[in-house]
A and B are shown apart, each in its own frame.
Chain A
């Protein structure tokens, strides 16, 4: 069975980056089984920016981790670039940005960005070139020799984005990357991320708690609800690729934001 989203898919199968069909995932905990995801269907095409929004426990992070082969589904199928998540991971198909920067404290910023390149066997000259490009991309030029603790939280998270992009994966998986940052820094990073997405033409899957962030960044917003985690609504936002924070005051923006809020509320109503 295909989800409405999957049926909607207009483009050629070759451009399908993510295909999730009837995915369920149950964790076994000390208190018994917890169903984190229930019958998820989702398709994402190349170049999309898809946000996942929902309250804690709705499985949005678990879904992202399952796509990254960091969790194993209980049933259902995931294809990433037509491959299983494990094969896609082995082919280094994606860069993953975690909630925390997870920089290695004993490495300088530039050596942190070079970490995946070292593991993947890039030579020194290539590594240096890519690190310099990465630092530029996230506006950290001049900070390469600093240790992570010498940087602010926002700068650390930018370094972790540069690290995820250093080996040039087509797919970027981001798990609440700006969740721990204050509103002002978050706005700024949102703008930078959007520019980065536009420049690099990557496909981005983005988990967030914030409605404005989701609406501002995304081409599509997936609203999820908890217990068990499932998809409540999928909203196309259809703003132009190049946009500024100003669009957040337009009626179109508010309309989409309202629909997201509505979906979130619905998901909650019969839980509490």
Chain B
């Protein structure tokens, strides 16, 4: 093997190694936790069944494959994920695909509303001098209210206006996602340096020209960073909304149903499905970010 090949291989290993170590450590820690947390329950089961003569291996195997463990083992969650994603008909209410598609729909609609609102607010704050002081504190205050307290009220209020179905949940998702976009875009739209702004002034550029030819493109890195935060927040909002109003399904409803019946494996599987959706959306925005960066020359 040539030296270059060897060093390329080495570099690849060095890239993968930290990730592998962390994942392995987390999974190992999880198994230890599962053994520890389920010990009492499994001990009681064996005692109730009159089983007294068992080895540690036997006990551990039983502990890691309980029906309703306090903490399910990773392989149980994976099995449940696989089962409810691939083996159940997607139109069934027991399918994670069914619930995830509802959640994604709400998330994307909420994200669209929230990020549009965020961009609009940021544009206003940057251009109208008074708004920075008069509007920003309210925007910040809006996020200090726990969404779990606010969500039912949003549903009730919108119901008064005959707005039902997916929209109230999208509004709750939007409530969480407009904030990072507003804050990020205010920063981004203000990111041009004084010389770049002076330059526009020497051309007697209009405000619209300065916005589209300077402020907007300069805000691109901030835009994508806030979009990533916003889409993840929108998904959290959608799940919270579904917990509030669970009759229409969604991953939040699945979480709630799981907790009613003590189906811990099902809860964790729904949690992982939500995390996977979120990661997928953030990853998608990351791809668009990278493509834009190449086109705008800020990727080097």
Among A106, A147, A149, find the residue whose CB has the most chain B CB atoms closer than 10 A. Answer: A106
Task: Check: B149 CB closer than 8 A to any chain A CB.
Answer: no
- CA gap between A99 and B196 in the complex, in Å: 12
Task: Check: A261 CB closer than 8 A to any chain B CB.
Answer: no
Knowing A89-B204, A147-B297, the reply to whether A106 touches B199 (Cβ < 8 A) is no
- Judging by beta carbons under 8 Å apart, are A104 and B217 in contact? yes
- Judging by beta carbons under 8 Å apart, are A98 and B199 in contact? yes
- Judging by beta carbons under 8 Å apart, are A92 and B198 in contact? no
Task: Check: A254 CB closer than 8 A to any chain B CB.
Answer: no
Interface mask (B201-231 → A, CB under 8 Å = 1, otherwise 0): 1111100010001100110100000000000
Task: Check: A105 CB closer than 8 A to any chain B CB.
Answer: yes
- Judging by beta carbons under 8 Å apart, are B201 and A70 in contact? yes
Which of A98, A104, A107 contacts B198, CB < 8 Å?
A98
Among A95, A104, A118, find the residue whose CB has the most chain B CB atoms closer than 10 A. Answer: A104
Chain A-chain B contacts (Cβ-Cβ < 8 Å), number: 56
- Judging by beta carbons under 8 Å apart, are B198 and A105 in contact? no
Task: Check: A120 CB closer than 8 A to any chain B CB.
Answer: yes
- Judging by beta carbons under 8 Å apart, are A100 and B217 in contact? no
- Judging by beta carbons under 8 Å apart, are A96 and B204 in contact? no
- Judging by beta carbons under 8 Å apart, are A92 and B297 in contact? no
Knowing A96-B199, A96-B202, the reply to whether A119 touches B209 (Cβ < 8 A) is yes
Closest-CB distance, A101 to chain B (whole angstroms): 9
Interface mask (B58-89 → A, CB under 8 Å = 1, otherwise 0): 00000000000000000000000000000000
Interface size on A, residues (CB 8 A): 26
Knowing A106-B220, A149-B300, the reply to whether A90 touches B195 (Cβ < 8 A) is no
Interface mask (A68-90 → B, CB under 8 Å = 1, otherwise 0): 11100000000000000000011
Knowing A98-B195, A100-B195, the reply to whether A70 touches B217 (Cβ < 8 A) is no
Task: Check: B296 CB closer than 8 A to any chain A CB.
Answer: yes
Task: Check: A108 CB closer than 8 A to any chain B CB.
Answer: yes
Closest-CB distance, B190 to chain A (whole angstroms): 16
| Interface residue ranges of A95-129 to B (CB < 8 Å) | 95-96, 98-100, 102, 104-108, 115-116, 118-120
Chain A hits for B220, CB < 8 A: 106
- Judging by beta carbons under 8 Å apart, are B202 and A102 in contact? no
Q: Which residues of A contact B (CB under 8 A)?
A: 68-70, 89-90, 92, 94-96, 98-100, 102, 104-108, 115-116, 118-120, 147-149
